[in-house]
Structure 1
């Protein structure tokens, strides 16, 4: 279906499908350049088309019929990390991230992925991530790979050498696979709170999070119930759709959004422990600009979404008594700091744990290069961004804490690649470990932080 021109009745837009980049999002951009220093790809390339204002100019040019939706346009748009740092830096709050995602939707329809990219898209974005049962099967296979001795055999025989370098790096830091919480608590309608009940919350388990980081999901449940929350895990929930929207598959993103909106319709609060997922859930209304009924539902749903650190900070949590004696630094996941404006809450939680000494990381909110599956689709640029990030990570720390699974995998690659020995941890894990030490010592006194 052709789209009414985005700029003026007298201008023929080259966006030919519905849901094009929104003119209102770029209208306030005056190309002042305040965004340039915030952009990781511009830092590395020094090229205007790989800067936020350059990309905005290209998107506007397509809308004005001056540029076709072709490879010249697609490359800068898909090289963007969608880290949202430019919006934080922009005096006019231009939503470059939203524009990028809308532009990718047009590119995907004009230039559908083919070859290896097409196969990867069909296999993972369509065939795997939206299907929890298949994700659990994948988790089972990965667990077998680790426990059966097959992983040791593959590594010792050098079979990994036939794989691309970035995939070998990812395999080398693969976390230990556990039991998904969706499977563990499948028969339970609710995981009861401990002590005085404050709220009943619903939890997004995520797709990659529940397979690769089920221990973090478990820690999240432990912390929530410890602090007086009944936890519900809706059975009909699915992938948040972030990876699909980032790839330009907005139609699948809308379908997954609708499923999640329905799955969580009875929840008062939706708790998320993955920054990328949380940002996507909050962005659901943007997917339904042309569907008023669903946009209203999406707005009501998004208002209920909270990151675990924000929720604990706002509702109060037990201060642990036991020490986790460590020097650590904190990395701001882009979609937590720039996407949701959450910075102080996780830091305050960490500092409330006795024994934790926090070391400041320069440019802590600089992207690490993960950006969903960007480190797989754009490995060279992701590697360059990671190298820049690791230069800012203090060497005299034992842990690097953060709130996003993609960042955890990418930073683990950086630690290994650059000969560091820091442990990568999720903020909620440290709080859970401190609580467990309290239990071991028999500390039962609850002191809430409000």
Structure 2
């Protein structure tokens, strides 16, 4: 954290113009001055002037998503990220005393009301709040439940091995259907709001750990089995040597995104180095006020990546890239040995879209006939100021119709672990984003952050809509590899024969012809014929059926035990990684005399 003099200089840049108010998601929710960037900056000024940190100020700091949309809207260029990070360090480690403004004229709320000025977001005297603001607690420390939730979250999520082990019971509960039953009962939410929010994310269907596909985490066993090699050679002439961050949440819940990123970089002529033991980059800790923990993660990442002589460090998670670019400021202790090392590593960090735009395309793109909407991840659009590069990459894909979401710059409510620590506000913001996605009418949403993918997919599923969520790397990978996309077939047409992994989720919402699934699981569920095999509903051999494969397939396939259900399944099981039998041509129904 910077010293008080540096923070004072940053806070002085704010002229209280109010342009940040309509851009702030929490101000849009509650229309409270202290839940706006202007109000929080005023609270920071009071604390720097000698006032004590109260529970009321702590709550207003905790409600901030850290989306940095205010920095994009600010005409004065106030570095709000430095102020809110300092405030979160105070709330995480500081003691709570009565009244922030005890040494300033009037109370904290009165002082903020005095500087309210012109409200840029609403007419004077008119509230824009859509939901009532949560009550502000009395002075005191965080409750024991809050402290336990935060301790559990930060002891679990930044550590891939722990997170992979912790998701195993949830995966078993999902197979038995207990997660949805618990989510409907509301019991976990009464015990712990964070636990209830986590179960809602998983039970919505978008975050089911047993599923696999875009916007859906892979099972832990598949994540461990799909570990990437330490070096992925370039295809064709080598244009660059890059290192890739696999991350903590990304590597456990979305290993397919990392695999797609490595394939895209290799196809573009890059030797991809994937160092072992890199772990978490410290983004979750840094954005939550745990500065010492973030610095420890940062030093480990720096020591790992500086050993590789690479041209760039490519990151496919917006929050991780934003944190790694701040290593120099995080580790800028006077006279410390880590400051120059952090500067060298931070200078090489590039987001995937940013790096590919700088490198230029080399691999040919194949058509993807689909309409897609792009969601701006906050830490990519506002913190890193990268908005044009991903759109240019997606617009270069033939037949891909890219549409804009209404109010695309508004946060979806994920914000790292915000949707676990502030579930009510996150659910409201996620619902607004889901309404915007449904209004856009696109069957596919593209994002560049794992938290955004989970949040949007869960919110859309909660609205009862069928929309796929994919990462930018997965879309580029599908186009480069020429996997195609499901399109409504015309008369006598079958549609594309091969689909990318992300296409299976969109097949339900596309107007493709359907037929009974005769996949390896034998479920006979009605599925798009282009998604067979395996069954796009189960995405694996279903352990819930004992039916054998059709007799026409028994003679041409060999059986083996499915690693998931421990039963005899036929070739085509997604777990066995064996090829599938050829697709039988559909029967033509007699439609009467011509």
In the alignment, the residues of structure 1 paired with residue 2 and residue 411 of structure 2 have an alpha-carbon distance, to the nearest angstrom, of: 36
- Equivalent of 1:299, from 343, 350, 356? 343
Partner of 2:19: 34
Pairing 1:278–2:307 present = no
Name the SS of the counterpart of 2:4 in structure 1: coil
C-alpha deviation, 1:184, in angstroms: 4.0
Q: Map Cα deviations across residues 229-266 of structure 1 (whole Å, 9 max, x no partner).
A: 11111113121112112221111011111111111113
Query: Of 170, 186, 211, which aligns to 2:201?
Result: 170
CA 1:335–1:222: 2 relative to 1, 3 Å: same
1:422: which partner in 2? 467
Cross-structure match for 1:287: 330
Distance 1:162 1:213, change over 3 A: same
Structure holding more helix per residue: 1
Higher Cα radius of gyration: 2
Using the size of structure 1 for normalisation, the TM-score is 0.87
2-structure distance, mates of 1:272, 1:158: 34
TM-score when scaled to structure 2? 0.66
Task: Please list, as runs of the form range in 1=range in 2, the aligned pairs for 1:368-407 lying within 5 A after superposition.
Answer: 368-393=412-437, 394-407=439-452
Q: Give the Cα separation in 1 of the matches to 2:410 and 2:156.
A: 30
After TM superposition, the structure 1 = structure 2 runs for residues 137-148 of structure 1, keeping only pairs within 5 Å, are 137-138=165-166
Secondary structure of the corresponding residue to residue 120 of structure 1: helix
* Deviation larger for 409-418 or 136-145: 136-145
How far the C-alpha of 1:411 sits from its partner, in A, is 0.5
Structure 1 residues 369-389: Cα deviation after superposition (integer angstroms, max 9, x where no partner)? 110010111111112222333
Q: 1:133 aligns with which of 151, 154, 161?
A: 161
What's 1:263 paired with?
304
- The match for 1:338 is 382
Q: Distance in 1 between matches of 2:434 and 2:230?
A: 43
**Secondary structure at 1:357 match in 2:** strand
Residues 182, 340 of structure 1: alpha-carbon distance in 2 compared, 3 angstrom cutoff: farther
Q: Confirm or deny: 8 A CA contact 1:321 1:434 kept in the other structure.
A: yes
* CA shift digits 1:133-176 (9 cap, x unpaired): 32343455555555xx33x3554687864222533320122124
Aligned partners of 2:172 and 2:224: how far apart in 1? 19
Q: Does residue 1:312 correspond to 2:356, yes or no? A: yes
Q: Deviations over 1:391-428 (max 9, x none)?
A: 43334211111100111111012211222221111111
Tell me what 1:223 maps to: 264
Match of 1:352 in 2: 396
Query: How many Å separate the matches in 2 of 1:272 and 1:376?
Result: 24
Residue of structure 1 in register with 2:476 after alignment: 431
Greater relative contact order, per chain length (Cα 8 Å cut-off, separation 6+): 1
Match in the other structure for 2:281:
240
Contact 2:281 / 2:301 at 8 angstroms: preserved in 1? Answer: yes
Contact 2:63–2:422 at 8 Å: present in 1 too? yes
Partner residue in 1 for 2:244: 203
Q: Secondary structure at the match of 1:55?
A: helix
Q: Distance in 2 between matches of 1:26 and 1:71?
A: 21
The answer on whether the counterparts of 1:320 and 1:438 sit within 8 Å (CA) in structure 2 is no
Deviation (angstroms), 1:114: 5.0
Equivalent in the alignment of 1:6: 4
Structure 1 stretches of 5 or more lacking a match?
8-20, 443-450
- Per the alignment, do residues 176 and 381 of structure 1 end up closer, same or farther by CA in structure 2, a change over 3 Å counting? closer
> Is the contact made by 1:279 and 1:340 (CA closer than 8 Å) also made in structure 2?
yes
Residues 291 and 160 of structure 1, relative CA distance in 2, 3 Å threshold: farther
d(CA) in 2 for partners of 1:383, 1:41: 12
> Quick one: structure 1 residues 63 and 274, their matched pair in 2 at CA, closer, same or farther if it must change by over 3 Å?
same
Deviation, structure 1 residue 129 = 3.3
The number of aligned residues is: 421
* Distance in 2 of aligned mates of 1:414 and 1:35: 26
Q: How far did 1:113 drift?
A: 5.0
**Is the partner of 2:482 in helix, strand or coil?**
helix
